[in-house]
Amino acid sequence: VTLQWAAVATFLSAEIGLILIFCLPFIPPQRWQKIFSFSVWGKIASFWNKAFLTIIILLIVLFLDAVREVRKYSSTHTIEKSSANRPAAYEHTQMKLFRSQRNLYISGFSLFFWLVLRRLVTLITQLAKELSNKGVLKHQAENINQAAKKFMEENERLKRLLKNYGKEEEHVLEAENKKLEEDKEKLKIELKKASDALSKAQNDVMIMKMQSERLSKEYDRLLREHSGLQ
């Protein structure tokens, strides 16, 4: 194995290890979000994007080179196989063909897993943000509900007071009651908006979970195919 293909094989093993770590069920997305939010990642963000594109270009070049080698030795393999008086050349060509096919699988899976790894990190980050937004919206909805309940209790108290005061005072209390009614309607509207936002956030979280599950299933299938190919 040449140095470059040994490096690609090591890179592929590292990718598989990282994907397995990201797919561990007992590590919540919020924990990964905290890790991704470290200041060191912000400092190397621009470098990371350039490195990501550079690695993709290198893997594509290696993949195309492996495809070229496979096509080359496949045609040579057919020619040497038809020649019965050159068994050594046939064996040598067969060995070259095997190596080129191995390099094709290594570079192809490395490229695919590199893209999967980037997408997986993005999905984990989005899922963590949606879960955080869900908690914030739920807290806001609870606060609005408590405020509305407080205003309703105050409204009931003022209604009871209206029965004990005269007409002049009654007009004042009615004005206050009307204002409280308007405030209550506003709070109801705000509560409805918060409830709708919370429902939307829950739907987004469910969609993100479904995408993560589909991605995990696709990864398991590809890993089984990779194991079968090896």
* pLDDT per position as a tens digit, 29-79: 777 777 666 665 666 666 777 888 888 999 999 999 889 888 887 776 555
* CB atoms closer than 10 angstroms to residue 44: 10
Put residue 38 in one of left, alpha, beta given phi > 0 → left and psi -120 to 50 → alpha. beta
Whether the pTM exceeds 0.85: the reply is no
Which residue in 153, 223, 139, 141 sits closest to 190, CA to CA? 141
**CB-CB contact of 181 with 155 (8 Å):** yes
Quick one: pLDDT at residue 168? 58
* CB atoms closer than 10 angstroms to residue 158: 14
Which residue in 123, 117, 126 sits closest to 213, CA to CA? 123
Residue 83 has pLDDT above 70, yes or no: no
Helices (H), 23-166: 29-36, 39-43, 45-82, 87-162
Each residue's pLDDT tens digit, 137-192: 777 777 888 888 888 888 787 777 766 655 556 676 677 778 888 888 888 888 88
